[in-house]
Structure 1
C-alpha cells in the first residue's frame, strides 16, 4: 500500500508505530548531519527526519536528491519531535524515515505552493492543478463540497427528487445568448447548451414529479464581468401544488440550514420588501441590509429654494454616512471626485456636515438655512457627527449612483463584515421591462413567469403596472436565488407570448412542446434557482466566485490552462457542415 496514514492525522498517541506516508515534498532543510523534509498531502503536513546516527546507510544521500513537489513514499517510525510546532496539528511528532521511494520527480513549480504564494493570478490560472495544492484553493473546494452535500441533505429530507435534464437542447430567446453546438448528423441544425433547465423542470411538474431539484451546469454566452463565468452552477428547484408562500418558506429553511451547518449562524429573520421599496430605500433590487444608510428623498424640502440644480432634478436624494462629519474638506473633495468618475457618472455631490453642537455646515449654505438643513437631516436619519451626501438628477440614474456611493462608504467604514449574514426577500417585481431602444417589452425574468393574481388584465391597458409573482433571495447585497410562480395554462401562456412580441407561429415553433404539455393537466407550480458559485463564495466570506471553482475561466471567458476556446481543423468543420468566412 502507498500509505497507512495521511499527512494530517498522526499525533503523540502514534509514537512508536511504524507508518507509511505518501505525498509531495513541500520543502527540505539540510543541516549536514540531519535533514528535515516537510511532506504534504491534502490532509496536512508531516515532518520527516533523516540523520546520520539513526537512519539506514545511504538514505541521507537519497534524501538530498529530493526536490520541491517530488512525489515520494516514506516508511518509518513515529517519534517525538524535539522542537514542537504548535502551528500544525502534527507538530508534536515526526517520522524517522527508514525507507524512501521516489514515485515521481517534479520540475521546479512556477510559483511557491504555499498559502501566501508569489504567483500572480494569470500564472496560477495557467497552472491551476498546482494552485489547487495550496491550502486556500484546496480548502475552498472542500468548502464547496460541504455546501453541496448540505443542500442535497436538506432537499432530500424535504422530499425533493434529484433529476438530470439534458445539456443538448433547443435554442430559445431567454435574454443572454446561447452557446450553440452544431449537429454532424443533422446538417445545418444546432443544439444549444441550456441557460437553465427551465422548461424541463416545468415538464417534470406536468409529469407528476412534484418536488424536483438538480445541481446543474448552465451556460450563457454573454459579455463577461469580473464575477461572471460563461459556465456556472445552479441549485435548480421546482415544486407543484404550491403558492409563493410555500416556496419562500421552504427556501428560507434551506438558507437557514446552510447558515447554521456551514458557518454556525442562527438566522430566522428573512424580511421581505417589494421591488419598488428596495429601489426607493437602497437604489437597487439586491440591497445589503447589514448596515443602514437608507435613502432619504429630499424633493419636498430641497426644491424651490433658488438652487437650480435641485429645482430641475426629477429626484433629490441623500444618505447619512455615520461619523462622516469628521471628514476633512480634502477628503470630501476626493469623495466628490469619486462620484464623478465615469463608472458612477454623477455631475457632483452636495454635502452637509452635522456638527456635534447641533448646527449644520453645507456646500450650499448660500441657498439653505439651518432650518432647511435640519429637515434634510430628519429625512435621511442623520445624527450629530454624520455626513449627509446628496445627489440629484433623473430618478433611475440617481438612485443607481447613490447606491454605488452607499456601498463604497460601507466598504470604507468596515460595515460589510464577511462574517455577518443578512438575508431578505425582494418580491413583486415588474413582469415586463421596456426596451427603450426598440420600444418593445421583454420579460424581466423569463416568459413563463406568472403575473400576480388580478394583474393579467392590465397587460392590455397598463403593462408597466403588471407585477410578477416572482421573488429574489438576497444575501449581503448579492442575489443568491430567484424564481417565480409559473404560468400553467395554455391560454395565459399564449397571452404572455403575444405581449412579448411573439406571433402565434413563432411561439409555436419555439415553445410548442410546452404549450402541448399544458393541455394534459399541468398543475400549479413554481420554483427557484440559486447560484451555487456565488452562494458558496458569500458563505465562505468572499465575493469572488473564481476562488471556489476548480477550473475557472478568466475575465475574457478563456481557460488559459487548456487554451480554450480554440480553432478546430478543417476536417472537423467539414464533418459539421461548417465553413469559416476567410475574409472575417
Structure 2
C-alpha cells in the first residue's frame, strides 16, 4: 500500500508515529514561511503542516505548488495540533511532513468540493465523479451500502436464498413501458429489460426454492419524478407455503432491523388499514399518518340548504385544522389559491372558523345558520380555535384534491417530523381498475395477484368490486414496498387473464411458460418488493432518490456525464436489422 493510514483515522494517541497518507487537496493556506494543506480521502480530512526552517526547502516548494484536488502522497510525523479543530475527528493532530510527492495534478474543478458547494444540480451531475468526493454525498452512499449489507444479513438469517434472475427477458403488455433491446442473432426480435423479476421468482417457488430474495435492478420507461428513475433497485422477495400474515410479519421484522441497524431507530406499531378506509379518510392509498386531519363527509349536513355548489356535488368533505381559527384572510386566501392550482384543480374552498366565543364565521354564512355550522363542527370534532376546510365535487377528484390540501397543511403546521416514522400496511386493494382509454379492466398490481378466494365468483358479475390479497407498506406517506399472495393454479390464472381481456392465444403466447409450470405442482406462495432507492432516501431524510444513487439520470432520463442515451453507428443498426429511415 502507498499509505500507512487513511485521512480519517489518526488521533492524539498516534502522536510521534511516522505515517504516510494519500489523498486529494481539499484546501491550501500559504502564509509565506508556513503552509497548511487539508488532505482528504473518503475516510476524512487530516491537516498537513510545512514550516520554513524545519521542512526541507524542496518539500516546502512542492507544497506551495499544489492546487485544489491535486493527488498527494505525504509522509511525516504525527504531532499535536496547536490550534485544535473540534469539527473534525482528526482535529487534535496534524502531520509534520518530511516527504511530499505529487501523484497527479488536477485542473481547477468547476465547483467547490465541499458540503456547501457552489455547483448547481445539473453541473454536479455532469461531473458526478467530482460530486462523489463531497462528504455529504459519500455519506449517502455509505448509508446505501449499510442498507444493502443489513438487508442481506437479515434475509439470510431468515433462510432466504439470493438468486439472480435474467436481465434480458420477454416484453409483456401489462404495467409500464418496457425498455427494448434488439437481438443481433435473432434479427427482428427483441428482448425487454425487466420491470421486475415477477414471473421468475414465481418459477423459483415452483422449483422448490421456498424463500428467495434478490437485490435487483429493474427498468421502466416512464415519466420521471424525484422518486423515480428509469433504472431502480428493488429488494425482491418470494415465499412458499405462507399466508399474508406470515409475509407481513417477516417484512415488519426486516423493516425494524434496518431502522435499528442503520439509523439506530426503534419504530412503533405497524398499523393495518383497509384500502377503502385509506381512500375514504385520507384520499390516498399511501396516507401520511404522522398527523391526524382525517376526512369527514358532510353531504348529510351541507346539502339541500340552497348552496348549489354543495347541492350539485357528489361529495362534500372536509378536514379540521387544529388551532388555525386565527388565521388571517390572506392566509386562508392562499389556501384557496393552492387548491385552485392546475395540478390540483379544485374550483374553490369553503372555510369555517370556530371562534373562541362559540360562534362561527364562514365563507358561506349566507346559506348556513350558526346551528348548521355547529353541526358541521360537532361531526368533525372541531373545537373553539379550529379551522374547518371543505371541498366538494366528483368524489374521486375531490378526495385527491383534499389529500393535497391536507398534506400542504401538514407542511404549513410543521406536522411532518422527518425523524418520526409511522409505518402502515394498506391491505385489500381492488384487484382490477377500469381504464377509460382502452375500455377494459387492468390489474391494479399485476396479473398474477390472487383475488380474495371468496370473491372469485364476483369476477363474472361485479369485477370492479373484487378485492386482491395484496398489501403495501407505507411509511410517512411514501410507498416503500408492495406485494401480494399469488395465483398458483392454472385455472384461476386463466380466469384472471380472461377478465383482463386476453384471448386464450394471447395468454398462451405471453405467459404459456408460467401456465405450464403451474401444472407441475406449484405451491401456494406470495411475496413483496421494496423500493430500495426510496427506502434509502427515507432513512437519509431526503425527498430525492437521486442523492442515494452513485450515477443517477436527470429528470429527462439522461446521464449528462456520459451523454447517454446517444445515437449509435449506422453499421450497428444494419447489424441489428433496424432501419430508422422515415418514409
CA deviation after TM superposition for structure 1 residue 542, in Å: 1.5
Task: Give the C-alpha shift of residue 323 in structure 1.
Answer: 2.0
* Structure 1 unaligned spans of 5+: none
Task: Spell out, residue by residue over 1:489-526, the C-alpha distance to the aligned partner (whole angstroms, 9 max, x if none).
Answer: 00000000001000000000000000000000000000
Select between 376-385 and 96-105 the one with higher mean Cα deviation.
376-385
Aligned-pair CA distance for 1:305: 1.0
**Which 10-residue stretch deviates more, 236-245 or 320-329?**
320-329
Match of residue 480 from structure 1: 480
Deviations for 1:97-156, whole angstroms, at most 9, x for unmatched residues? 000001111100000000010000000000000000001111000001111111111111
Match of 1:138 in 2: 138
Task: Give the C-alpha shift of residue 322 in structure 1.
Answer: 2.1
CA distance in 2, matches of 1:446, 1:330: 47
Whether the 8 Å contact between 1:472 and 1:481 is mirrored in structure 2 is yes
Paired residue secondary structure (1:337)? helix
Alignment of 1:267-346 (within 5 A): 267-346=267-346
Secondary structure at the aligned position of 1:533 is classed as helix
Distance 1:376 1:437 in 2: 39
- Extract structure 1 runs of 4+ deviating beyond 6 A: none
Cα-to-partner distance string for 1:412-441 (whole Å, 9 max, x where unaligned): 111111111000000010000001223200
1:15 corresponds in structure 2 to: 15
Q: CA deviation at 1:582?
A: 4.0
SS in 1 for 2:455: coil
Q: 1:178-212 CA distances to partner (integer Å, 9 max, x unpaired)?
A: 00100000010000000000000000000000000
Say which SS state the counterpart of residue 63 (structure 1) adopts: helix
- Contact residue 430 and residue 467 of structure 1 kept, 8 A: yes
Distance 2:321 2:291 in 1: 11
Offset of residue 330 of structure 1? 1.1
1:178-327 counterparts in 2 under 5 A? Answer: 178-327=178-327
Deviations 1:552-576 (A, max 9, x none): 0000000000000000001100110
Give the count of matched residue pairs: 583
Separation of aligned partners in 1, 2:377 and 2:218:
47
SS in structure 2 opposite 1:35?
Answer: strand
Corresponding position of 1:401: 401
Q: Which residue number in structure 2 is paired with residue 451 of structure 1? A: 451
Cα distance in 1, alignment partners of residues 50 and 264 from structure 2: 43
Q: Tell me the residue number matched to 2:37.
A: 37
For 1:430-579, what aligned pairs fall within 5 Å after superposition?
430-579=430-579
Give the Cα–Cα distance (whole angstroms) in 2 for the partners of residues 412 and 311 of structure 1. 31
Unaligned runs of 5+ in 2: none
Q: Counterpart of 1:95?
A: 95
Distance in 1 (CA, whole Å) between partners of 2:579 and 2:336 is 54
Deviates more, 1:371-380 or 1:156-165: 371-380
2:268–2:422 CA contact under 8 A, matched in 1 = no
After TM superposition, the structure 1 = structure 2 runs for residues 399-438 of structure 1, keeping only pairs within 5 Å, are 399-438=399-438
Counterpart contact for 2:428–2:471, Cα < 8 Å? yes
Contact 1:455 1:467 in 2 (8 A): yes
CA offsets per residue over residues 362-383 of structure 1, 9 Å max, x none? Answer: 1111111222112222222222
1:151 corresponding residue in structure 2 = 151
SS of alignment partner, residue 454 of structure 1: helix
Answer yes or no: is the 8 Å Cα contact 1:418–1:542 preserved in 2.
Answer: no
Normalising to structure 2: TM-score of the pair? 0.99
**CA apart distance, 1:465:** 1.1
Secondary structure at the aligned position of 1:77 is classed as strand
Which residue in 2 is equivalent to 1:50? 50
